[in-house]
């Protein structure tokens, strides 16, 4: 039986992946029981529910790619597989009391900020809902990106994106085209190679590949983790420090980056004996500029006799073949697109309209994808984005960033409670100052100066996805809610006529609190300075 939606809720959390489940647990721990988790699909899990392609797994160690408050001693491998991660999220949700708040098959179709009532008005697939606060747990790996290639609609065989894997399609003994060589393709190509008659991989740019060194945890290790949780915490700490140390190869020039490149090229030489194929698979840009592939079996799969690597992008799809830019035509029975996602082009960004009458997508189209501390956007009161702009990582677990952002959201809610205000919005000048500092920090990183094109940057070359330094810096930054960067709004009937309803964030609100710290009346006419 489906639980009916309430007419109003204190907090509406959108999405039920790591961000959504983590937020729900934190709200309950904070004593907030009036919240809902809205999930457009029929079950929770986010990207770990949607990506069911063969070989799907995490490329961050299991103990690190999990909540700090919910360690799992029973991971089967150093790198967890997709079914395990999905079960983990389901278990965390059940054990921490999230399920009664979860509303599946509930898509947020539209939402707009009501500046009179100081609430978000949401239109969902199951009816209307108002919320004081909206927390978006919709990550960037949500909407599949399909290349705009002529003829795709006329292909006569199965064709699908890896994130929408068609398990009814029998690919055994077939000729299968794989378009793209990103992280997902690196996991499913070895699986396809085992069953297909031929796999034709269309590669626009060769990725850097480093060994995964995966293995199964022994029964003895798992028993020890269960009996002595400190051992699992130690394992997590070691994995964390190792990953943070690797970051120096990405944010600085010098010997460490050169070392990783030499190791990767040595690995390529060992696993791909054919010099011609090896040349096609050798990157001509700095390691880390594009997402690094972590795999033990991708390169060996490419070297198998039934796999062909076409170092040329696809320019046309015909009824029974695929044509590359080099003019070659390849007869195939099926096509799998491993072409990534529309990062930050989220459906929710097109559907949420802020205080100024613009959608989040329109806001970003004008000024670029940006958010203060990756979490709040000027013009969008009481809206918090998890894994928002410039919070993605190129070296370690994004769960670390999610937990830091959740603490920041709770600090903002606490500030609202203590002030007696109804809405909080980042000041535009604070957002712009933060973004300028962040972009300056990204300037000399490999992601900006590594000599490649990647989904990390927009069409203007602006890096809108990655955090520029160690996660410890982000954690420290997010421990404190920077009240001075925000303006508060009180309810209309709490404000004496003629007084401003933008108040400084700090001491609890009271009549007359519209005065500045020096006792003078704040006479700025803009409630939220531009």
Ranges of each domain in the chain: 8-143+343-484, 152-207+247-337
Rounded distance between C-alpha atoms, residue 210 and residue 96, angstroms: 37
> Which pLDDT value is given to residue 492?
55
The structure's pTM equals: 0.91
Return the residue matching tokens 């499913």. Answer: 188
Which tokens go with 417?
């409670």
Question: What was the pLDDT predicted at 68?
Answer: 97
Mean pLDDT of the chain: 90
Q: What is the pLDDT of residues 51-104, one digit of tens each?
A: 999 999 999 999 999 999 999 999 999 999 999 999 999 999 999 999 999 999
pLDDT of 521 > 70? The answer is no
Mean pLDDT of 270-290: 96
As beta bridge partners, residue 397 has none
How many angstroms separate the Cα of 458 from the Cα of each of 228, 365, 411, 467?
A: 46, 11, 31, 15
pLDDT in tens, 166-210: 999 999 999 999 999 999 999 999 999 999 999 999 999 999 999
pLDDT of the residue at 122: 98
φ, ψ for residue 36, nearest 5 deg:
-130, 150
Give the pLDDT confidence of 492-502 residue by residue, as tens digits: 544 322 232 34
Residue whose structure tokens are 């983590």: 22
pLDDT at residue 238 greater than cutoff 60: yes
Position 513 scores a pLDDT of 32
Distance between CA atoms of 171 and 334, rounded to whole angstroms?
7
What is the percentage of the chain residues whose pLDDT exceeds 90? 83
CA distance 261 to 270: 14
- Residue 512 pLDDT > 60, yes or no? no
User: Which residue would you say has higher pLDDT here, 520 or 347?
Assistant: 347
Q: Estimate the crossing angle of helix 82-95 against helix 18-29, to 10 degrees.
A: 20
In CATH, what number does 8-143+343-484 get?
3.50.50.60
The whole-number average pLDDT for the span 110-119 is 96
> What's the mean pLDDT in 115-120?
96
Stretch 412-424: mean pLDDT: 93
252 confidence band (pLDDT: 50, 70, 90):
confident
| 30: confidence class by pLDDT, cuts 50, 70, 90 | very high
pLDDT score of 516 more than 70 = no
Contact assessment for residue 148 and residue 155, using Cβ atoms and an 8 Å cutoff? no
Q: Are 413 and 482 in contact (CB under 8 A)?
A: no
Per-residue pLDDT, 446: 93
Q: Rounded CA gap, 201 and 181, in Å?
A: 8
- In 220-356 the beta strands, taken as DSSP E runs, fall at 293-294, 307-310, 314-317, 321-324, 329-331, 334-337, 352-353
Q: In 15-144, which ranges are E strands?
A: 35-38, 102-103, 108-114, 119-124, 127-136
Task: Give dist(CA 131, CA 450) in Å, integer.
Answer: 44
Fold designation for 152-207+247-337: FAD/NAD(P)-binding domain (3.50.50)
* pLDDT over 70 percentage in the chain: 92
242-260: burial string, b at 16+ Cβ within 10 Å, e else: ebbebbbbbbeeeeebeeb
Whether 8-143+343-484 and 152-207+247-337 share one fold: the answer is yes
Greatest CA separation for the chain: 80
Q: What is the DSSP string of 377-445?
A: -TT-TTEEETT-TT-B-SSS-HHHHHHHHHHHHHHHHHHHHHHT-SEEEE-HHHHHHHHHHHHHHHTTS
| Mean pLDDT computed over 299-319 | 97
Question: What DSSP designation does 201 have?
Answer: E
């Amino acid at each position: 039986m489906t639980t009916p939606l309430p007419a109003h809720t204190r907090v509406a959390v959108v999405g039920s992946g790591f961000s959504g489940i983590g937020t729900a647990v934190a709200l309950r721990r904070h004593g907030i029981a009036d919240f809902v988790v809205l999930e457009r699909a029929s079950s929770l899990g986010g990207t770990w529910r949607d990506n069911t392609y063969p070989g799907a797994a995490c490329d961050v160690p299991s103990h690190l790619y999990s909540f700090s408050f919910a360690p799992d001693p029973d991971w089967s491998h150093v790198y967890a597989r997709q079914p395990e991660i999905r079960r983990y999220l389901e278990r965390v949700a059940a054990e921490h009391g999230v399920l009664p708040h979860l509303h599946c098959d509930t898509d947020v179709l539209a939402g707009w900020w009501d500046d009179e009532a100081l609430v978000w008005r949401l239109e969902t697939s199951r009816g209307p809902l108002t919320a004081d606060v909206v927390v978006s747990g919709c990550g960037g790996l949500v909407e599949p990106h399909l290349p705009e290639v002529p003829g795709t609609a006329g292909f006569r065989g199965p064709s699908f994106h890896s994130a929408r894997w068609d398990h009814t399609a029998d690919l055994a003994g077939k000729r299968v085209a794989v378009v793209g060589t990103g992280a997902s393709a690196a996991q499913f190509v070895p699986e396809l190679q085992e069953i297909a008659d031929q796999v034709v991989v269309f590669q626009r740019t060769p990725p850097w590949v480093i060994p995964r060194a995966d293995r199964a945890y022994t029964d003895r290790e798992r028993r020890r983790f269960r009996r002595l949780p400190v051992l699992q915490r130690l394992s997590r700490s070691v994995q964390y420090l190792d990953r943070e140390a690797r970051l120096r190869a990405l944010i600085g020039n010098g010997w460490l980056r050169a070392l990783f490149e030499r190791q990767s090229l040595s690995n390529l030489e060992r696993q791909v004996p054919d010099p011609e194929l090896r040349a096609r698979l050798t990157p001509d840009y700095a390691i880390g500029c594009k997402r690094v592939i972590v795999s033990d079996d991708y390169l060996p799969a490419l070297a198998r006799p039934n796999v062909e690597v076409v170092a040329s992008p696809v320019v046309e799809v015909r009824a029974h073949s695929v044509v590359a830019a080099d003019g070659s035509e390849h007869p195939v029975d099926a096509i799998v697109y491993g072409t990534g996602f529309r990062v930050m082009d989220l459906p929710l960004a097109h559907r949420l309209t802020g205080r100024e009458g613009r959608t989040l997508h329109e806001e970003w189209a004008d000024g670029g994808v940006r958010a203060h501390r990756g979490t709040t956007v000027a013009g969008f009161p009481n809206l918090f984005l998890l894994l928002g702009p410039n919070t993605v990582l190129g070296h370690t677990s994004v769960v670390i960033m999610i937990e830091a952002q959740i603490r920041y959201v709770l600090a903002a809610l606490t500030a609202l409670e203590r002030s007696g205000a109804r809405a909080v919005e980042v000041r535009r000048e604070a957002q712009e100052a933060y973004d300028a500092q962040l972009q300056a920090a990204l300037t000399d990183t490999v992601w900006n100066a590594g000599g490649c094109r990647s989904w990390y940057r927009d069409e203007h070359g602006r890096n809108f996805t990655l955090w520029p330094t160690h996660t410890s810096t982000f954690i420290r930054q997010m421990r404190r809610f920077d009240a001075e960067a925000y303006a508060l709004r009180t309810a209309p009937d709490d404000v004496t006529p003629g007084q401003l309803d933008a108040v400084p964030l700090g001491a609890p609100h009271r009549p007359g609190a519209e005065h500045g710290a020096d006792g003078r009346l704040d006479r700025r006419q803009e409630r939220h300075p531009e």
